[in-house]
Amino acid sequence: MHVHLPKPLHGWREFLGEVGVIVIGVLLALGADQLVERTTWRKHVAEAKEDLRGELQADLFNAQERVRMESCIDRRLDQLEQIIDRPPAQAWKLLAGHGIVPIRVWTTSGWDSAVAADTVTHMRAKERMQYAGVYAFVRTLNELARDEFAVAVEFRMLERGGPLSEVTQDRLRADVARVRGYNHVFALGGTQISTLIRALGVELTSEDREVLADMKCPMPADTLPGAALR
What tens digit of pLDDT does each residue of 132-143 get? Answer: 999 999 999 999
pLDDT score at 12: 54
Q: How far apart are CA 72 and CA 163, in angstroms?
A: 27
pLDDT score at 229: 56
Between 22 and 156, whose confidence is greater? 156
pLDDT band at 5 (very low <50, low <70, confident <90, very high): low
Could you tell me the pTM of the whole model? 0.81
Q: How far apart are CA 56 and CA 198, in angstroms?
A: 9
Give the lowest-confidence range in 55-59, 115-119, 209-213. 115-119
DSSP string covering 27-43: HHHHHHHHHHHHHHHHH
pLDDT band at 98 (very low <50, low <70, confident <90, very high): confident
User: What are the CA-CA distances from residue 112 to residues 2, 22, 23, 133, 200 (Å)?
Assistant: 69, 44, 42, 13, 17
Position 27 pLDDT exceeds 60: no
Arithmetic mean of pLDDT over the chain: 85
CA 163 to chain centre: 41
Residue 86's SS3 state is coil
Q: How far apart are CA 213 and CA 215, in angstroms?
A: 6
Position 35 pLDDT exceeds 80: no
Position 228 pLDDT exceeds 50: no
- Which residue type sits at 169? Q
Q: How far apart are CA 87 and CA 94, in angstroms?
A: 12
pLDDT score at 29: 56
Position 3 pLDDT exceeds 90: no
Torsion region of 165: left, alpha or beta (phi above 0 gives left; psi -120 to 50 gives alpha) = beta
